[in-house]
Amino acid sequence: MSSTASITHREAVPVVIGGVRFYCESFRAESAGHISDAATVSGGDVLTNIAPGPVRLTLNCRIADEEQPMRAVQILHNMMRSPSLFSFSYRGLSFTGCCIHSFSADDNGEDFISVSFTLLTPDIIGLEVQS
């Protein structure tokens, strides 16, 4: 007799950015390269100036900081204004050279604050080393 198990619920993944622990409900990574094309003398096309674009990471999270729940807004805003880059990990992937592109925070009277932010990194995505 065989049985099948199905996942009906996944816990939010903790992510630490700027010293704040966010609980990530959804994650999206996307990137597009920069490519130019030029005409050849024989009338064909050739691709030139091929370069990778930055990775755009979008995280939709919640935060439950009972003492200062809006501290995350202050930290994200100050990180956006800073030239400093940061690193973080998500489910075994390692992201370095990150900066905050945009963020939004919603306090809807729940036990948590919803935070969505977009990060950019030009660096290669790494794998965390398992010890």
Residue 100 in domain: yes
Residue 36 in domain: no
Q: Is the pLDDT of residue 2 over 90?
A: no
Q: What pLDDT does residue 48 have?
A: 85
Q: Is the pLDDT of residue 7 over 70?
A: no
Q: What are the tens digits of pLDDT across the range 67-96?
A: 787 888 999 999 999 999 999 999 999 999
Say how far apart CA 20 and CA 11 lie, in whole Å. 18
Q: What pLDDT does residue 67 have?
A: 78
Q: Say which CATH number the domain at 26 has.
A: 2.40.30.200
Query: What range defines the domain where residue 96 resides?
Result: 13-30+43-127
Residue 35 in domain: no
> Mean pLDDT throughout 43-61?
91
Residue 67 in domain: yes
Report pTM. 0.81
Q: How many domains does the chain have?
A: 1
Share of the chain above pLDDT 90, in %: 60
Say how far apart CA 87 and CA 64 lie, in whole Å. 22
